[in-house]
Amino acid sequence: MIRVRVGLEEAATRLASHLAEELAPRGIMPVIKGGTVILDDSSSATTLSIEECAEMVRRAAVKAGIRYRSLLIKGEELILVGGELRPREREEAPKLFTCPHCSFITPYEEEYWVHLKTHYVGF
Ligand SMILES: [Zn+2]
């Protein structure tokens, strides 16, 4: 059993979901307890080595948008030092105006109306 100390609970949750992607095929489901992710390999066919785990945590941290100063290995524990979340990228896509007559797309409403009028010239 390996513990990954992340500190921030939200960061631990995100890290766990990315770790799950890698660990699911091996039958290991990360468990989150406070700011710590627990990887229990007792029911897995293969045991996890701490070095292997450290590699996975590094990859998962990048995907999860977690910045940290260093990753320490202490026995059966991995400690993410100075872990923090990068500000989330805007999840909502900006509103886009799509012309019903052609493939014109713009995020600016004004530009959209100006464009739309061009289809009606001559009517
Ligand atoms: Zn158009």
The DSSP secondary structure of 43-94, one letter per residue, reads TSSSPPPHHHHHHHHHHHHHHHTEE-SEEEEETTEEEEET-EEPPPPP-SPP
Query: How far apart (Å, rounded) are the C-alpha atoms in residues 109 and 28?
Result: 49
Question: How much distance in Å is there from the Cα of 93 to the middle of ligand 1?
Answer: 21
Percent of the chain with pLDDT over 90: 72
Question: How much distance in Å is there from the Cα of 92 to the middle of ligand 1?
Answer: 25
- Predicted TM-score (pTM) of the model is 0.68
Question: How much distance in Å is there from the Cα of 90 to the middle of ligand 1?
Answer: 28
Question: How much distance in Å is there from the Cα of 12 to the middle of ligand 1?
Answer: 47
Average pLDDT of the residues of the chain = 90
Average pLDDT over residues 44-69: 92
